[in-house]
Amino acid sequence: MMDVSRHPNIELITYAQVENIAGFIGNFTATIRKKTKYVDEKECTACGDCVKVCPVLVPDEFQQGFSSRRAIYIPFPQAVPSSYLIDMDNCLGTNPIACGKCKPACEKKCIDYDSRDEIITIDVGAVVVATGLKPYDPRPLDEYGYTRYENVITSIEFERLNAAGGPTQGHFIRPSDRKEPGSVGFIQCVGSRSKVRGHGYCSNICCMNTIKDSLLLQEHYPGIETSVFYLDIRAFGKGFEELYRKSREQGTKYIRGLPGEIREHHETNNLVLTVENTTTGKIELHEFDMIVLSVGVEPDKDSDKIKSMLSLSRTPDGFFLESHPRLKPVEVPTRGVFMAGFAEGPKDIKDSVCQAGAAASKVSNLLGAGKVRIEAVTSSIDEDLCTMCGRCVRVCPYNAITKSNKKANILPGIIEAACAGCGACGVECDYGAITMRHFTDAQYYSQVEAVLADKPGEKIVVFACNWCSYAGGDLAGTSRMSYPSSPHLIRTMCSARVNMDFVKHALKLGAPIVVVSGCHFSDCHYIDAVKNTQKRVEKLWDELEDLGIRPERVQLEWISAAEGAKFARVMKELELLRKQVTPKEIEETKRILIEAEKKKRGKKAAKKTVST
């Protein structure tokens, strides 16, 4: 961190919060709230004279509450810059001044009770999201007795108790009697790998952290008994298996099974845990002086704010979604934004460093080039047709359309560098003012007409998104999975590009079944554009029902690029549905839709006449 702060090209802004980020690739503007420290960080020499006179004692968050700090403090010993700050939530008060002892104690006159937060704006070309992690809070898992029993601690608390700079100067003692424990039990997967007891994902780092902790204890306190209760040990990195083996050789017992209950002995404060050893199939009781809960990790609580600020999407676990899991692991769908570390998913230090390096390299390439190459598939607005209703602005997942203002006669504008070409805006425009380059409405109508030109009753029209469903179909084909020949695919960049008029047009031309298919919500390549598809299809189902057409004739399916088997299965199911649609029903549908269209045209014409 010292190197970062001294680097001539890096401006380090600490104790600050990003309030907003606006703009697009190469032209972002970040609004940052620089919180006041009430201490001039440039002048403060960290002499500590102020701390000596501060009467307030509060639990030290950095030491996990095992020791205390004053209201004026340095958050942690390696903090950069090394200067004090006043925690105003705990200070006795400066307005009016209730104590005020620190100010006269400071020889350099660094303390200013009247200083306020500062709002700064910075223009940046790219953004790297590295929001880090939050350890899982094991209190909901009541059977482990965390906070009920003093000697049950988390792996994070273990780190502090074992650290040379910790509250005990590295002497590992148990909290209840401050004696060195003779036996320590580690419980794995606390808050991980269980959807009902925490999170469904593996936190990635806990197994190796426990192995490291067991080795530390064995080396520092020879003869200490250490046992690890686990589901399975995931030691998959370079040198990890060797470390695991070493831990076993040094005497750590590995017992497969997670304890069901922990009880405390009321006199000795020792802990007795009950576990089903799944290797032997027997219920066992084990007694320990201390138990360490190897807690999992979860995304930072502020990730919601970052998500909306940068138009990011998240996986169901809450981590940010990358552009592509294998080929673009540090990029996000919003151009010019990259991510590193836990923001993307649980990973260890080595992987985080690799990802940070990759993100820095991507940023360097981008800024070094000074220009970006964008896809030709973008939207354009016809100013003569635009009514400035603003609907396109609301559906754009990339905030790539500038706001219109009817009163000021300001038309919306497409920021081409930010537009990713999903086409959600074009479908939303009822006035035909937005055209998607290379994927125009006319092209789609022509494709539908071409598909249904011959024997339409034997065909299924499938609108498939380029990234997932179309690729899923490809996979089914290349994997030689058999499916009927009736489905005819029409490629769209995103399922949100499918105008429901295309679907109605297909039905009008005699298609028995029309399918709209896209990515799963969590895989959407255009952040959350797929949500528009769901809304529109639902609306169409209602409309068809009102007209007397079976909504079943329009099907919706989310198929990922890896789901070739699903694609084949769905197509077989749809073929069965197609066979249920009679020629009479098709003819009736045609008649209803043509009549409805005539009615709609008539209404439009009447409206036009009235307005003129």
Partner 1 sequence: MALENFHCLRCNHKYKAEFSKKEWPRELTCPKCKSNSVRWLKKRAAKGAGKKDS
Q: How many CA atoms, within 13 angstroms, populate the side-chain half-sphere of residue 538?
A: 6
* Residue whose CB is less far from partner 1, 538 or 587: 538
Contacts of 138 (CB under 8 A, 6+ apart): 144, 146, 154, 190, 191, 293, 295
Task: Classify 306 as helix, strand or coil.
Answer: helix
C-alpha closest to that of 62 among 165, 151, 191: 165
**Spatial separation of the C-alpha atoms in residues 100 and 86, rounded to whole Å:** 11
Identify which of residues 334 and 555 has a Cβ nearer to partner 1 in the complex: 555
CB of 141 to partner 1, least distance (A): 23
In eight-state DSSP terms, residue 595 is H
CB nearer to partner 1: give 66 or 521.
521
Query: In the complex with partner 1, which residue's Cβ is closer, 132 or 484?
Result: 484
Minimum CB distance to partner 1, residue 415 (Å): 26
Q: Are 52 and 62 in contact (CB under 8 A)?
A: no
Q: What is the closest distance, in whole angstroms, from the C-beta atom of residue 579 to partner 1 in the complex?
A: 14
Q: Which amino acid is at 430?
A: D
Residue with smaller CB distance to partner 1, 577 or 596? 577
Q: Minimum CB separation from partner 1 for residue 531, in Å?
A: 5
Structure token digits, residue 10: 């890096």
Closest CA to 252 of 185, 172, 205, 206: 185
- Give, for 401, the enclosing helix (H) or strand (E): strand 401-402
> In the structure encoding, which two tokens stand for residue 125, read together?
């070309």
Site residues, partner 1 (CB under 8 A):
520-522, 531, 534-535, 538, 541-542, 546, 551-552, 554-558, 570, 573, 577
Phi-psi region of 178 (alpha: psi -120 to 50; beta: other; left: phi over 0): left
Pull the structure tokens for residue 573.
Answer: 């199911």
Residues in the chain: 612
Closest separation between CB of residue 494 and partner 1, Å? Answer: 15
In terms of C-beta density within 10 A (0-12 exposed, 13-18 middle, 19 or more buried), how is residue 605 classed?
exposed
**To the nearest whole angstrom, how small is the minimum distance from the Cβ of residue 133 to partner 1?**
24
Contact yes or no for 127/134 (Cβ under 8 A)? no
Q: Cα–Cα distance between 322 and 419 in angstroms, integer? A: 18
What's the min distance (Å) between Cβ of 558 and partner 1? Answer: 5
Cβ at position 459, least distance to partner 1 in Å: 18
Cβ at position 109, least distance to partner 1 in Å: 52
Q: Which is nearer to partner 1, 460 or 554 (CB)?
A: 554
At position 561, the amino acid (one-letter code) is: A
